[in-house]
Structure 1
Amino acid sequence: MTKRVAFIGTGGTIASIGKGPLDTVDYGANGMLLQADGILARFPEVQQVAEVFAVPYRNVPSPQIGWAEWRQLVLLCDQVAAENPGLSGIVIGHGTASLEETAYFLSLTLKVAVPVVVMGAQRPASALSTDAGLNLVNAVRVAASEEARGLGALVLLNDEIQAAREVTKTSTGRMQTFRSADFGALGHADGDRLAWYRRPLRRLAPDTEFDIRGLDALPRVDIAYAYADADGTAVRAFTAAGAKGIVAAGFAPGFVTPGDAEALRAARAAGVVVVQSTRAGSGRVFPTTKLREAGFIPADNLTPQKARILLALALTVTSDPVEIARIFATY
């Protein structure tokens, strides 16, 4: 039976048409973006691996994607799955700048049973040796596979299948930009077959406790980045702005300056939930005596940007620090 896969395009490099085949840097200035159906038409080879159909959305520069678009994508996936009972999977094309954050949000909030794969490109669709076409084909192959079910949202670029929780963009322009630093890829989309090697153990969509369908907004959560001589000004500003949570992107393995520590303790005393992560990009934050005494929650090995997403979702179901610590140990 032919596999059917839906393709939702949100813009990004994969949708971009530059001034010519050698325009691999300033293509955004050309202002030409393909819609989802235009991307499928440009790379007709995708129909050789599944029956792929376009789902209308809109093109949004990925630095502009956030809560509103995330919620729309969750609801759109619900709609597409409901309207297509025989659907095998869903692929979402996305700009790479914030792709990992969208993928992680979806991995925590989707309720559809079919695989959802988020993909993008490092070179525009018009470029010589663009990666857009093969990334799209491989994302469709993964979305159509039975092995991808139950793994939450996945990320596919450069022939590598990555878990949304673990992957991050590590290079501005290289093809191998998306990496899972601590654990590596789940598998590879090779020419002969999809080669799987491991499965994530943390709790994943669709079996999560987060339901954003009735929410108008997420609680405000900000990130305070550690640097030498940081004096707590950013933390105090976030607290004054009404932050319900603050993620401290500390020095590895989870330290902040005295000025930031004082401001974070004051924020915690005022009822703000504080999660301690690191700016290192790899490794766990340990549940030390100092963190426990301050009432801060370790982010485990989540990057600051992903800890922010999990904390915001956690705050939609509880404000109890003990429960939020459980959530960080579960997801």
Structure 2
Amino acid sequence: MRKVAFIGTGGTIASIGKGPLDTVDYGANGVMLQADGILDRFPEVQQVAEVIAVPYRNVPSPQIGWPEWKELVLLCDKVVAETPGLAGIVIGHGTASLEETAYFLSLTLKVPVPVVVVGSQRPASALSTDAGLNLVNAVRVAASEEARGLGALVLLNDEIQAAREVTKTSTGRMQTFRSPDVGVLGHADGDRLAWYRRPLRRLAPETEFDIRRRESLPRVDIAYSHAGADGTAIRAFLAAGAEGIVAAGFAPGFVTPGDAAALAEARARGVTVVQSTRAGSGRVFPSTKLAAMGFIPGDNLNPQKARILLALALTVTRDPAEIARIFAMY
């Protein structure tokens, strides 16, 4: 059997509620299993691979950010170096920020094995929990040769998704993770993994971003534009030291006059501005207006992922043309 490492970071997939019908307020119980405890609760996972628990720590996913991302990159390095014959890695994660962690890993990992990020919508203790089958399927994907070279992947609800494209679309439904515009890479069906496409954008480990010796990332904030927005939030971000701002604008990529004025102030200070959209789907197109304002189109990245890519881009260049290249390539 192939060997797969499992790193648990907490989240719903690790949570134990007060009973089998506790599917909403289980966090109040305050019980989360470590990686080895999750594997013990779902022993069926050992039927599809030899799964090794890797100690980490449980972190509510809204609290996960740069420190944990760097730790996970380094931990993946360590696990691959110390585990002969390792076929892949699975990372258990809360679904709130799962897509952001997966995308960061998809841009920064340097390991040659597949990395699959998995979560669940119902706690491990719930009646009809999806935690066990999601974990089994994530291990199957991580152990597969077909998953190599696809960057970090996301597995929930039998669906194999690319980290760049997937996003959480529902608070509680099982089919919450969707890839707008492009769809799934494949399915983890009962008989086999059924693959249908490969992502074309540049992916880990073949990327230009290396965060291993960095102590921090450049500060990048997201300004959500809405009717009547007057730029106050943007000016607050500038005062806090933002080096980049992602404008989550109206579709297909506009902001209010007040926000536009504040973003012009940001550009005058040398702050990089990327124009994204709050629509959740579709590209921000290059236009004469954006070029005149000095804004970089965010393509079809949602604001939270555009923020990650911009922060990483700022670690290698401050040239707007180069950052535009990075957004077109990744």
TM-score (norm 1): 0.99
Structure 2: any 5+ residue segments left out of the alignment? none
Provide the rounded CA distance (Å) in 1 between the counterparts of 2:62 and 2:232: 25
How far has the Cα of 1:84 moved from its partner? 1.0
Aligned counterpart, 2:280: 281
Matched, 1:305 2:304: yes
Mapped to 2, the partners of 1:204 and 1:97 lie a distance apart of 23
Question: Is residue 34 from structure 1 mapped to residue 12 from structure 2 by the alignment?
Answer: no
Aligned to 1:107: 106
Aligned counterparts of 2:265 and 2:25: Cα–Cα separation in 1: 45
Cα distance between partner residues in 1 of 2:266 and 2:195: 44
Counterparts of 1:192 and 1:307 in 2: how far apart (Å)?
37
Give the letter aligned to residue 293 of structure 2. A
Written as runs of structure 1 = structure 2, the 5 A alignment for 1:89-238 is 89-238=88-237
| Cα distance per residue 1:191-238 (max 9 Å; x no partner) | 000000000000000000000001000000000001000000011111
Alignment correspondent of 2:327 = 328
| Aligned-pair Cα RMSD in Å | 0.3
What SS does the aligned partner of 1:239 have?
helix
Distance 1:230 1:106 in 2: 33
CA distance in 2, matches of 1:198, 1:187: 7
Tell me, yes or no, if structure 1 residue 57 matches structure 2 residue 56. Answer: yes
CA deviation vs aligned residue, 1:136-169 (integer Å, no higher than 9, x gap): 0000000000000000000000000000000000
Q: What is the rounded CA distance, in whole Å, between the counterparts of 1:255 and 1:266 in structure 2? A: 17
Shift of residue 240, structure 1, vs aligned partner: 1.1
Equivalent residue, structure 1, for 2:295: 296
What is the alpha-carbon distance in structure 2 between the residues aligned to residue 298 and residue 185 of structure 1? 24
How many angstroms apart in 1 are the aligned matches of 2:115 and 2:184? 17
Q: Residues of 2 paired with 1:263 and 1:34: CA distance? A: 46
What letter corresponds to residue 89 of structure 2 in structure 1?
I
Q: Secondary structure at the match of 1:8?
A: strand
Inter-partner Cα distance in structure 2 for 1:175 and 1:39: 20
Once residues 48 and 273 of structure 2 are traced to their aligned partners in structure 1, the CA distance between those partners, rounded to angstroms, is 46
Which position in structure 2 is the counterpart of 1:77? Answer: 76
What secondary structure is seen at the aligned counterpart in 2 of 1:253? coil
Distance in 1 of aligned mates of 2:219 and 2:137: 36
Cα distance in 1 for partners of 2:10, 2:51 equals 18
Partner Cα distance (1:289, 1:31) in 2: 53
Q: Does structure 1 residue 23 correspond to structure 2 residue 18?
A: no
Q: Secondary structure of the equivalent of 2:165? A: coil
Q: Secondary structure at the match of 1:192?
A: coil
Identity among equivalent pairs (%):
86
**Whole-Å Cα distance in 2 between the matches of residues 246 and 238 of structure 1?**
8
Tell me the distance in 1 between the aligned counterparts of 2:265 and 2:126: 52
Q: Distance in 2 between matches of 1:315 and 1:237?
A: 20
SS at match of 2:36: helix
Using the alignment, how far apart are the partners of 1:242 and 1:47 within structure 2? 48
Question: Which letter maps to 2:270?
Answer: G
The aligned amino acid for 1:257 is T
- Looking at structure 1, the residues matched to 92 and 240 of structure 2 have their Cα atoms a distance apart, in angstroms, of 34
- Structure 1 residue 85 displacement after superposition: 2.4
Give the Cα separation in 2 of the matches to 1:330 and 1:171: 29
Q: Deviations over 1:107-154 (max 9, x none)?
A: 000000000000000000000000000000000000000000000000
User: Which secondary structure does the structure 2 equivalent of 1:38 belong to?
Assistant: helix
* Counterpart Cα distance in 1 of 2:322 and 2:240: 25
Q: SS of 2:198's equivalent?
A: coil
1:7 to partner: Cα distance: 0.1
Residue identity opposite 1:176 in structure 2: Q
How far apart in 2 are the matches of 1:42 and 1:214?
37
Matches within 5 A, 1:222-261: 222-261=221-260
Q: Which blocks of at least 5 consecutive residues in structure 1 are unaligned?
A: none
* Partner secondary structure for residue 88 of structure 1: strand
Structure 1 match to 2:11: 12
